[in-house]
Chains A and B, each alone.
Chain A
Amino acid sequence: EAQVTQNPRYLITVTGKKLTVTCSQNMNHEYMSWYRQDPGLGLRQIYYSMNVEVTDKGDVPEGYKVSRKEKRNFPLILESPSPNQTSLYFCASSADRNNEKLFFGSGTQLSVL
């Protein structure tokens, strides 16, 4: 089954403790991206990647890092989480940068205390 898998689904952590949210897709998609969803703000793009070893900042990249060492995986790294990073995070992928159809993961609800 074609899917985008994120882990974990829920995460509670404390300020400053490094964490990684994993994302994996099994569709051989070139393009992957991370979004955060906040009430009243919709989805905002954090980072995106157009292929292996090619990543770029989205609209709200501060406090986040990503890597794309393999085509299928695109982890989101928070080196020193802060409470304003409490949010619902989504990973998405598409066949190419034209983004004709984005496939989304089920989301990761992160709370930073």
Chain B
Amino acid sequence: GEDVEQSLFLSVREGDSSVINCTYTDSSSTYLYWYKQEPGAGLQLLTYIFSNMDMKQDQRLTVLLNKKDKHLSLRIADTQTGDSAIYFCAERSSGGYQKVTFGTGTKLQVIP
């Protein structure tokens, strides 16, 4: 079945860039997502990319997709303390029921 993997922790200094990585196995993925979970809250969609794109930029966020290697990354420029959260990578399969499979989540700690 589908599998999405991420490293569990990342620690960066305020003002630096953060790069969160994700690998997935489903070659028929149509969309790939990044969700953000702040403490005590549910997940919120941060950004997404279509599988036929290589890159998407949205203000401080840059998503890179390497479809050949099934590798997705999220870069946060000028990381702020408010960016501290758990970031989930997710992929959506093609077909009749387009299931979304989530990764394990990466906890980002921003050090002031």
Residues of A within 8 A of B35 (CB): 102
Give the contact-size bracket for chain B.
20 to 34
What 1/0 mask marks residues of chain A from 22 to 59 whose CB sits below 8 Å from any chain B CB?
A: 00000000000001000011111100001000001001
Select one of B42, B92, B97, B98 contacting A107, CB under 8 A.
B42
What 1/0 mask marks residues of chain A from 53 to 89 whose CB sits below 8 Å from any chain B CB?
A: 0001001000000000000000000000000000000
Binding site for B on A (CB under 8 A): 4, 35, 40-45, 50, 56, 59, 90, 92, 97-102, 104-107
Subset of 23 A-B contacts with CB under 8 Å = A4-B42, A40-B8, A41-B104, A42-B103, A42-B104, A43-B43, A43-B102, A44-B102, A45-B99, A50-B97, A90-B42, A90-B43, A99-B98, A99-B100, A100-B31, A100-B48, A101-B48, A102-B35, A102-B45, A102-B100, A104-B44, A105-B42, A106-B40
